[in-house]
Amino acid sequence: MKKKECPSCAMEIDAQAAVCPICKFEFPKRSPWITWVAIFLVIVWLLSYLL
């Protein structure tokens, strides 16, 4: 089982947890479109650098 560290209390918890069971810290959710925009910008930057 994968683990992640809670930034609030530094406890190792399940990687799929949305809330820390110890301190109730809520992990932020990243929208999938932000990831795609970041990938697109990196590709554009690489293409402009190579050409």
Q: Residues 30-44: what's their mean pLDDT?
A: 92
Show the domain range for 45.
3-50
- Residues of the chain with pLDDT > 70, as a percent, come to 100
Exposure string for 18-44, b = 16+ CB within 10 A, e = fewer: eebeeeebeeeeeeeeeeeeeeeeeee
- Residues of the chain with pLDDT > 90, as a percent, come to 76
For 24, the 3-state DSSP assignment is coil
Domain count, the chain: 1
